[in-house]
Structure 1
Amino acid sequence: MKKSNKRHEEHEEHADESWLLPYSDLMTLLLALFITLFSMSSVDAKKFEEMSQALSSALNGGTGVLEHSSSYDAGSGADLGKNKSPSSNPNTATDAALAKKEQEDLERLKKQLDDYIGKNGLTNQLNTKLNQSQLMITIADNALFASGAADVKPEAKVLAKNISRMLEQFPSYDVIVTGHTDNMPISNYKYTDNWDLSSDRALNFLKIVLQNSKLDPSKFTPSGYGEYHPVESNATAEGRAKNRRVEISIIRKYNGETKTTNVQ
C-alpha cells in the first residue's frame, strides 16, 4: 500500500499556470489605459506623443509602457496643466507677423489709390474697399469704355498704367480683374451677349496694366461675370450704371488673421 501511494504522488499533475500569460497582458493594457487617461487630462503635444509611442509599443508586444512610464511621474505632472500660448508656436507667430505686414501693405496701397482718386477728381468713377478677403478697386464702365464697346478709352489707359505702377510695389499678391454689365441685352456686330462684353472689357484693361514689365502676368486673372453679380437693382438707370463696372481685386493671403473693417 505504501508503495502504491508513493507512485500516485509521483504522477500527480502540477496546477495549470497558463492563466498568468493573459493576466500579465491584461495588466499591461490596463497600465497603458491609465497612462492614456492621465495624459489626456491636459493638452500637451509633446507628452501626448510620448504617450502614443508608449501605448503603441505596449499594444505591439514590447515593453514600451514600462520604459516610458517615468515620463509621467509626479514631478513632471506639474507641467501638464500649463497650456502653451499661441505665440509660443513659431508658425503661429510667423503667420501673425506676415498678416500684420499684409495689412500694412494693403492699407498703404489703398491710401495711394485714394490720394490719386482725390487729386484727379475721380471720386464719382472710382472707389476702393478693403476687407478681410481683398482690396477692391471699382471703376465705373463709362470711365473706361464707350457704351457697348470693350476698347479702353485713351484717357483710361493713363489710369490703367498708373494703377500698374502702384501694383508693382506689391508683386507677391494675386490680382483678379473682373468685368460686369447691367441686364440690358446687347446685340451688335461684335457682341451677342453680356458675357462676351464683360470678358473682353476685363481682358483689354488687364492687357494695358500688364504692359508694365515689372509685373508678373502669372499673378493676374481676367474674368467676365456679365450681368450676374449686380451691386444695385437693374430696375433703375442709376442702379444699372453702378452695375456696369470693372473690379480689380488684390487678394489677401492671410485673410482672417487680423481684424479688419470695410473701408470705403
Structure 2
Amino acid sequence: MSKKTRREHHEEHADESWLLPYADLLTLLLALFIVMYAMSTIDNKKFEEMSKAFNTALSTGNGVLSFNSEVKTEKSSSKNSDNTLPTSSDKKKQRELLAKQEQEDMEKLKKQLDQYINNNGLTNLLNTKLNQSELTISIRDNALFDIGSAVVKPESRQLAVAISNMLQQFPSYNVIVSGHTDNMPISNSEYASNWDLSSDRALHFMKILLTNPNLNPSKFTSTAYGEYHPVASNNSDVGRAKNRRVEVSIIRKYTDGGEQQLQVQNK
C-alpha cells in the first residue's frame, strides 16, 4: 500500500520541460535586442564583431545571425558601385582625350584648307588660324564681294561650297560667320553704316554655306563687327584691305575656360 502511494505522489510531480524552450526564447530575444541596439550605432566594426560573437554562441548550423556576411556583401557591393561611378579624375582624363582628338581633327582640317588655298592660288586672299578657342578661316572681302556690296560674286560661290564640304567633318560644332570692315565710312544708298554692310556680308556668305544639306543650320550664327575688330592698322591701304574680311570660325568644345586665347598654330 505504501509503494502505491509513493508512485502516485511521484506521478503528480509538475513537468518542467517547458523551461528549456522558454529559456531559448529569452536568449534569442536578448540577442535580437542587442543586435537591434548594435544596428542603431554608427560603429560598423563593433557591430561586425558583436554579430560574429553571437553567431558563434547561438548558431546551430545555419546561424541565428547572418549579419556579418551581409555587411561584407553590402560593403563589397558598395565598393563595386563606387567603381562604376566616374570620378573627377576619370572625367578629367576623358576630357583630355576628347581635347586631344579635337586638336588632331582641327589640325587635319586646317591642313586641308591650307592645301586648298595653295592649290588654287588664294594665299593672298585667304588664311587660317588655329588657337585654343577656335579654328578660323579668314577671307578677304575682294575674294567674295564687289566694293560696297554684300552679294557674293558668282565665281566665288565655289569657294563657299568647298568650305562647306570641309565643315561636314564637324557636324556637332558651333560655327560663327562674322563680317568685318575697315574704318572708312560707307558711302552708298544701300548701306547706312559699316555695321549694315558687315552684317549683310556675313549673312549672305552663311546662306551659301548652308545650301549644303549635310550642315545643321541650328549650329550656325552670323554676326557683324563692323570696323571694331581690326587685325591690322587702318592707316594704310594694305592694313584696311586686311580688315575687310569675312571669318568662318569653328568653335572648340574642349577648352580651358578663363585662359587667354593662345595661338598654337598659324601658318
Per the shorter chain, which TM-score range? 0.5 to 0.7
1:131 corresponds in structure 2 to 131
Amino acid at match of 1:115: Q
Per the normalisation by structure 1, the TM-score is 0.66
- Match of residue 214 from structure 1: 214
**Amino acid corresponding to residue 121 of structure 1 in structure 2:** G
1:92, distance to aligned residue in structure 2 (A): 1.4
1:177-224 residue CA offsets vs partner (Å, 9 max, x unmatched): 000000111131210100000000000000000000000001110001
1:171-210 matched pairs, under 5 angstroms: 171-210=171-210
Shift of 1:148: 0.5
Shift of 1:102: 0.4
Within a 5 Å distance, the mapping from 1:87-236 to structure 2 comes to 89-236=89-236
Q: Distance in 1 between matches of 2:169 and 2:197?
A: 31
Aligned length: 186
Which consecutive segments of 4 or more residues in structure 1 shift more than 3 A?
66-70
What is residue 263 of structure 1 aligned with on the other side? 266
State the alpha-carbon separation in 1 of the partners of residues 141 and 112 from structure 2.
22
1:161–1:69 Cα change, 3 Å: farther
SS in 2 for 1:212: coil
Question: For residues 178 and 45 of structure 2, what CA distance do their matches in structure 1 show?
Answer: 60
Paired position in structure 1 for 2:26 = none
Q: How far 1:256 sits from its partner (Å)?
A: 3.6
Shift of 1:260: 6.9
**CA 1:185–1:63: 2 relative to 1, 3 Å:** same
TM-score by length of 2: 0.65
How far, CA to CA, are the matches of 2:243 and 2:250 in structure 1?
20
Structure 1 residue 262: deviation in Å?
3.0
Deviation at 1:263, TM superposition (A): 2.0
What residue in structure 1 maps to residue 15 of structure 2? none
Code of the aligned partner of 2:96: A
Identity %: 62
Residue aligned with 2:250, SS:
strand
| Cα deviation 1:88-131 (Å, max 9, x = unaligned) | 82211211111111011101110110010000000000000111
The offset of 1:68, in angstroms, is 8.1
Change (3 A) 1:69 1:260: farther
- Counterparts in 2 of 1:242 and 1:220: CA distance versus 1, 3 Å: same
Cα gap change, 1:221/1:69 in structure 2, threshold over 3 Å: closer, same or farther? farther
Higher Rg: 2
